[in-house]
Amino acid sequence: MHCHFAFHVSPFTSLSRVLAGDTIHHGDHVAEKAMAGLVLGVRVPAPPGWVDTADTMVRRDIRLLVQSRPARFGTAKGYGFVVQEGVEPAADSIRIPGTPLVLERGRPVRITVVNRLDEQTAVHWHGIELSSYPDGVPGWSGMGPRVMPPIAPGDSFMAEFTPPRSGTFIYHTHAHELEQMAQGLVGSLLVVEPGTRPDPAREATLLMSADGPPSEHARGWVNGSWTPAPIVVPAGRPFRLRLINIHPDVRLRTRLVRDSTPLTWRLLATDGADLPALQATARAADWLSGPGMTQDVEIRVARGDRVAVEVRAPFVDAPWALRVPVVAR
């Protein structure tokens, strides 16, 4: 259990190591090496006789490549998750954010993570209940002799799990977080009901992330852009927005606005959990989020109404804002 502001759980917050003059290496989360700050380890043993029934089911296979491109952010490299479909893509082809992963509730999946970087990495399936070993925290996930190692350059790791509920989740690196997350290793992870797929005519995902290494000029991106594409919605009909904040270190305020006036939306789910009817109500379209949070909302926009989703970072030294137009047709 940890704070999701990346710096708050980095080895740079380890006062004892700094005083001892230790070299800080933050790719492996073994407690004595790199777990520091606002973090608490919790061990949950399996009950006697427990058997994972998913072991007897046919798993869906996904091959997830972790790649980089030199000089993507000035002199700094960019990172990206790419799902292989057909021929293996070039090692310097990246997507920011990564390829959206769409899984089915109750259907076992086997995700082979292939590290094509020149450094170690790991992938965490944020918000999904699964057994510890494939959870993606190197040096910590697992128990006893079976603990997940970092994924070394040129190596791979097989994560097997079964999503127990549908919802909006995230996948992201859990090694060198201050660099790898800020420079691209984040992506949306949607779990849908069996036999269904996300329908772009009825829903859209907005993933808010960093736009490169921290600097005095850093802002953020929505879906990997400072000028995200408009959201096209059916006029007057319900439309689902899946909102994801996976910026490493910034709180964001997301609103549905007409000019600068907040409108209303209906809250459907938070952090991947559907809300009961008493809470799934209309309210001011204003969501203050921290890193690692998700929220699903329903909007209705009349034809010709000029509205937008506004994403602001009001609590940083150089506040910034982005707007995503909403077009009703």
pLDDT digits (tens, 9 = 90+) for 252-306: 999 999 998 999 999 999 999 999 999 999 999 999 999 999 999 999 999 999 9
Residue 21 pLDDT greater than 70, yes or no:
no
Percent of the chain surpassing pLDDT 90: 77
pLDDT digits (tens, 9 = 90+) for 59-115: 999 999 999 999 999 999 999 999 999 999 999 999 999 999 999 999 999 999 999
Q: How far apart are CA 82 and CA 208, in angstroms?
A: 18
Domain 203-328 has CATH 2.60.40.420: yes
Residue 175 pLDDT greater than 50, yes or no:
yes
Confidence (pLDDT) at 11 = 66
Same topology between domain 53-192 and domain 203-328 = yes
Q: What is the mean pLDDT of residues 117-129?
A: 96
Q: Which residue has the tokens 């699903």?
A: 296
* Contact criterion met (CB below 8 Å) for 20 and 26: no
Confidence (pLDDT) at 14 = 56
Q: Closest Cα partner for 250 from 218, 278, 284?
A: 218
Confidence (pLDDT) at 287 = 98
Sequence-distant (6+) residues with CB within 8 A of 130 are 161, 162, 163
Burial class from Cβ neighbours inside 10 Å (0-12, 13-18, 19+) for residue 133 reads middle
pLDDT digits (tens, 9 = 90+) for 194-252: 999 999 999 999 999 999 998 888 899 999 999 999 999 999 999 999 999 999 989 99
* Contact criterion met (CB below 8 Å) for 225 and 284: no
* Contact criterion met (CB below 8 Å) for 209 and 221: yes
Residue 31 pLDDT greater than 50, yes or no:
no
- Residue 74 backbone dihedrals phi, psi, to 5 degrees: 65, -120
The class level of CATH for 53-192 reads mainly beta
Ramachandran assignment for 74, one of left (phi > 0), alpha (psi -120 to 50 degrees), beta (any other): left
Domain boundaries, the chain: 1-42, 53-192, 203-328
